[in-house]
Structure 1
Amino acid sequence: MTTGVVITGVGAVTARFTGGAAAVSAFLAEPSPVHGAIADAQLTSLLGDGDARRLSRVCQFAVAAGRLALDDARFSADDEVGLVLGTEFGDLRSTVEFADGYLTSGPSGLSALIFPNTVMNTMAAATTIATGARALSLTLNAPTVAGELAIARGAAAIASGRARAVLAGGVDQIDPFLGSMLTDLGAGEERRGEGAVVLVLERASSARERGACVLGEILGAASGALAVRPHGVGRSTRSSVVAGALAAARVETGDLGAVYTSTNGDRHRDEWERRLLDAALGAGHHPRSALRELLGAHAGAGALGVVAAASAARASGRPSLVHGVGRGGSQVALIIGR
């Protein structure tokens, strides 16, 4: 049974491009690597001086992307609109700053202003307040797949009747401390990026009633946890996640068009994902693309992959697969239609 959930808007904040569906389409038409950090002036122009001063940097990403998505969908959030936001590391910069205050000056160095940003759901809280999405609010914290997983959970919330619409996507920022931490965990080859991408998901019937432009449909989704040590890479390719997403969408493997993976430069993880997909789809059977190779690894790139998959489905007339697997075993698959 398909979800009956469609994509009607997108907001993207990256170092290379910022905007709604038109900006994303322009990037996908002529993709090029996006290196470096998002400029502070770019954020100020999106948010205004007040929000730019008040919000932490990664919260600025999320709030700007959420507002852009609503504008793109020509949609207003209310008590029936929820938020599901994925992040790999949250506001790590504020957490380090808060801890450094204590380590440097003791209790007197602890900042009451910084403390709220040390919790993992600070970006979701700021975005909920800024956009008026006052139904469920959920933060998903997972390596690599947080953005894709947020889209899957958002679609499930709508399909189950918990929300009329959901803002769903991912956000992360570059932090100097992060590189050394990932090296210690064995993932030092992963090239990090930063940004936020948020989608507006809503019931297909609601979108039709208001005459919304539909960018794509979430035909089916599945997720699971594979057996592997914490932040480790598995050896087994036994998994029912891709098959579960295909079954939910009532799509056969041979009917698939494009496949978007979570390849991110982490060799061991990338090879594991390749073997998982070969086992699920057949070796080399479907062309595979990976936006993280252009954008760097961050949760927003996963959400952008869903938009790219919808664009590919519209162009080919065949449903696309979005797949991700993270160190530690979190796996997600979504089937995206036009």
Structure 2
Amino acid sequence: MTRVAITAVGAVTPLGNDADTTWEGLAAGRSGVGRLTTFDAEGFPVRIAAQVKDFDAAKSIPSRVGRKHLSRVGQFGVAAAWEAVRRAGLDQLSEDVYAADERGVSMGASVGRPELQTLLDIGHLRTTTGRPDAFICQPPGVALTDDQNVPLSAMARMIGGTGPMMGISTACAGSGHAIGEAFRAIQEGDAKVMVAGGYDSLTTWLDLLGFSLLGALTDRYNDDPEHASRPFDADRSGFVVGEGAVAVVLEDMETARARGATVLGEVLGYGSTLNAWRITDSPPDGSGAIQAMEGALADSGLKTGDIDYVVAHGTSTHGNDQSETVAIKKVFGADTERLVVSAPKSMAGHLTSASLGLGVLAALGAMEHSLVPPTINLDTTDRGLDLDYVPHTARAMPVKAVLINAFAFGGSNTSIVIGAAREDA
């Protein structure tokens, strides 16, 4: 079976507008949560979010890929992909290394939709003027900006790729499925290099209102945003909406080494399941998550004792944190006692479709620097939440293999195992 190397990572997150700054924020336990700025949230039950700051698309995206028709969140995704592409040196490679049809893109993202304000403006125009053409008065470029495939097309042009292009919309599991399916594409010979990851931004007033009505967001920390995201803490009261993008470059290991690429790690296993239980909640018995983790471990060929670190989905909702803890205990059994678990969402908020991508970035940093990022704001663990969640401060320790989780609304689960690249086969 073809081995799959990770040769680069790029990021635009609430902790920084590149991968290095994002890792530094995770390692330092720095919160990226603050007052919401995408709209005036005064009067809303939730007025905070983990948002991208000081982002300049003109500096982050080359003009040749076409910034004109990229939405704000599409810009995040393309910028993260461009950083990864440059770091891997793919922008300099000829077809002698990878043919065009061996280069592909796989991204998790929310399904594109018109901005709600645009629809309101059109509706108001039709109501007040009676114009039957009100719904077609927008310029045609708006349809391109809202289309999910436009950022993927830009990424394909970056790498000169005519191979597989996958846009995956499975909510919070999106980047997990995107990376996992890219891994499969290389394993099965459908591609030799893939840009994979996820991008998302659910910070409109419709998103905030919808999640608030579901009871999924915390509304207790509007005046203390840095302490709002508290996975596994007894005082947790819901997740914090985040936004951003993370992209990785996956390559056929043999070719990557032959061309002298830096191998950051290796994708070893991928598991994907569906709960078929409730739309918004995780099963209390951990089912679904258990099967995803077991599937990824079986695929990797590793045993539970080989995993040093679990990057938890860790949303800071009561049901998810309980369910995930139960699932980890059932999967790891006696090896649970030596395992460390931490939740990047405590710092970056919930990047939804990009969340597992952020977990991969955390895992790669942990392996490179022998340092596990913390779970911040974890003051008092809840009953039954008794794993080693690395509270408050990063922990120095060797890390050779990591399991990363993402569990989504609708019951979609995915887990990925990555490890330090072995010299042997």
TM-score, normalising length from structure 2?
Answer: 0.72
1:327 aligns with 2:409: yes
1:176 to 1:52, Cα distance in 2 relative to 1, 3 A: farther
Look up the equivalent residue of 1:127 and give its one-letter code: M
- Residues of 2 paired with 1:245 and 1:207: CA distance? 23
1:46 aligns with 2:57: no
Aligned to 2:350: 297
Aligned to 2:228: none
In the TM superposition, what is the alpha-carbon distance from 1:40 to its structure 2 partner? 5.8
1:18 alignment partner, SS class = coil
1:49 to 1:335, Cα distance in 2 relative to 1, 3 A: closer
> Which runs of structure 2 are paired with 1:4-153 in the superposition (5 Å)?
4-20=3-19, 22-35=20-33, 36-39=50-53, 42-47=56-61, 51-76=66-91, 78-87=100-109, 89-92=110-113, 94-106=114-126, 107-110=133-136, 111=138, 112-153=140-181
In the TM superposition, what is the alpha-carbon distance from 1:295 to its structure 2 partner? 0.8
Deviation string 1:201-245 (CA, Å, 9 cap, x unpaired) is 001001111011011100111111112133343233334221221
1:79 to 1:325, Cα distance in 2 relative to 1, 3 A: same
- Residues of 2 paired with 1:53 and 1:116: CA distance? 10
Q: Which of the numbers 217, 222, 246 marks the counterpart of 2:297? A: 246
1:308 aligns with 2:362: yes
- Residues of 2 paired with 1:41 and 1:223: CA distance? 33
Q: Which of the numbers 278, 282, 285 marks the counterpart of 1:229? A: 278
Is the 2:407–2:414 Cα contact (8 Å) retained in structure 1? yes
1:171 alignment partner, SS class = strand
Deviation string 1:190-209 (CA, Å, 9 cap, x unpaired) is 20111111000001001111
1:37 to 1:26, Cα distance in 2 relative to 1, 3 A: closer
Aligned to 2:381: none
2:241 alignment partner, SS class = coil
In the TM superposition, what is the alpha-carbon distance from 1:16 to its structure 2 partner? 3.1
Moved more, 272-281 or 130-139: 130-139
Number of residues paired by the alignment? 334
In the TM superposition, what is the alpha-carbon distance from 1:98 to its structure 2 partner? 4.3
1:303 alignment partner, SS class = helix
Is the 1:98–1:114 Cα contact (8 Å) retained in structure 2? no
1:145 alignment partner, SS class = helix
Look up the equivalent residue of 2:105 and give its one-letter code: L
1:49 to 1:121, Cα distance in 2 relative to 1, 3 A: closer
For structure 2, the 5+ residue unaligned runs are: 34-49, 94-99, 127-132, 218-237, 371-397, 421-425
In the TM superposition, what is the alpha-carbon distance from 1:54 to its structure 2 partner? 4.0
Q: Percent identity?
A: 28
Q: CA RMSD of the aligned region, Å?
A: 2.4
TM-score, normalising length from structure 1?
Answer: 0.89
Aligned to 1:213: 262
1:132 to 1:23, Cα distance in 2 relative to 1, 3 A: farther
Choose between structure 1 and 2: higher helix proportion.
Answer: 1
Aligned to 2:393: none
Look up the equivalent residue of 2:101 and give its one-letter code: D
In the TM superposition, what is the alpha-carbon distance from 1:168 to its structure 2 partner? 0.4
Structure with larger Rg: 2
Aligned to 2:207: 178
- Residues of 1 paired with 2:362 and 2:321: CA distance? 20
Is the 2:10–2:82 Cα contact (8 Å) retained in structure 1? yes
Deviation string 1:28-87 (CA, Å, 9 cap, x unpaired) is 442411235334653332136895554211111111111111101111374321111112
Deviation string 1:90-120 (CA, Å, 9 cap, x unpaired) is 445x342443344223442442221233344
In the TM superposition, what is the alpha-carbon distance from 1:263 to its structure 2 partner? 1.0
Look up the equivalent residue of 1:196 and give its one-letter code: A
- Residues of 1 paired with 2:150 and 2:308: CA distance? 37
Aligned to 1:274: 325
